[in-house]
Amino acid sequence: MGIAERACLEQTRNESRRQQVLAGATACFCRHGFHSASMAEIAKTAGMSVGHIYHYFENKEAIIVAIVEGNQAEVLAVMDRIEDSPGPLAQALVDTVSTGVDDCMNLTKTALMLEVLAEAARNPKVAAVVQASDAVLRARMREMLCKAAGPDQDPADPRLDERVETLFTLFQGISVRAIRHSSLDRDQTVRMMQAAIRWILQN
């Protein structure tokens, strides 16, 4: 095995270990909350020693940063798939609503992101990471909405920002409603969100 192959294998192992830590941390954060989840418990859940965890993450704050970055990559990948869909982009956005609603109604994901946001409200470093990630996602969505509006859309139109903010508010609100209203009707929510998005794209 050459040097390049060994380096690639080591990188793959390291990434696999990082994901193992993140999976363990996610389970602990959702079960006990950020501050109540100790590094020892995260290590036990991840199936490795505490010392091994510190090889990949300096502290719990660094784990949260990685969770935010992972969420950002996941959302950007979804946006890429929407943009690559055949047919009008506006219709592709509407067609993807059901998947988005399902994600927002996933209580495990919601619990994790609420822990992240709660820490961001207390911790300026985490807040900076969360806000920077949100800015990246808003810019990408703005780009997609501009493209979906057609060639006559002015890229500098401030209404694009209003649409992006409204869409983000709608979807993120579903996560909170899914907790507060345990019998929230998923199909009805999808229908109403699709209608709302059609209206937003046309105004």
How many structural domains does the chain have?
Answer: 2
* 73 and 132 Cβ atoms separated by less than 8 Å: no
Distance CA 44, CA 25 (A): 10
Q: Are residues 14 and 47 in the same domain?
A: yes
Q: Are residues 67 and 162 in the same domain?
A: yes
Q: Are residues 74 and 21 in the same domain?
A: no
pLDDT at 113: 92
Q: Are residues 51 and 104 in the same domain?
A: no
Question: Can you list the alpha helix ranges (DSSP code H) found in the chain?
Answer: 3-32, 39-46, 50-56, 60-83, 89-95, 97-104, 107-122, 124-148, 159-180, 186-202
pLDDT at 149: 85
Domain boundary among 57, 74, 98: 57
Q: Are residues 72 and 136 in the same domain?
A: yes
Distance CA 79, CA 167 (A): 13
pLDDT at 28: 93
pLDDT at 202: 84
pLDDT at 152: 86
pLDDT at 8: 60
Q: Are residues 65 and 158 in the same domain?
A: yes
User: Which residues does the chain have with pLDDT short of 70?
Assistant: 1-12
Q: Are residues 46 and 63 in the same domain?
A: no
pLDDT at 10: 59
Phi and psi torsions of 6, nearest 5°: -65, -40
Burial (CB count <10 Å: 0-12, 13-18, 19+), residue 121: exposed
Q: Are residues 29 and 92 in the same domain?
A: no
pLDDT at 112: 92
Radius of gyration of the chain (CA): 20
Phi and psi torsions of 2, nearest 5°: -75, 175
Q: Which CATH number characterizes residue 15's domain?
A: 1.10.10.60
Q: For residue 49, give its domain range.
A: 1-57
Q: Which CATH number characterizes residue 172's domain?
A: 1.10.357
Q: Are residues 164 and 106 in the same domain?
A: yes
Q: Are residues 74 and 85 in the same domain?
A: yes
Q: Are residues 18 and 92 in the same domain?
A: no
pLDDT at 90: 86
Quick count: other Cβ atoms within 10 Å of Cβ 104?
22
* Residue listed under structure tokens 């979906």: 148
pLDDT at 187: 96
- C-alpha dihedral over 175, 176, 181, 187, to 10 degrees? -30
pTM of the model: 0.88
Q: Are residues 26 and 105 in the same domain?
A: no
Phi-psi domain of 33 (left: phi exceeds 0; alpha: psi -120 through 50; beta: other): left
pLDDT at 74: 94
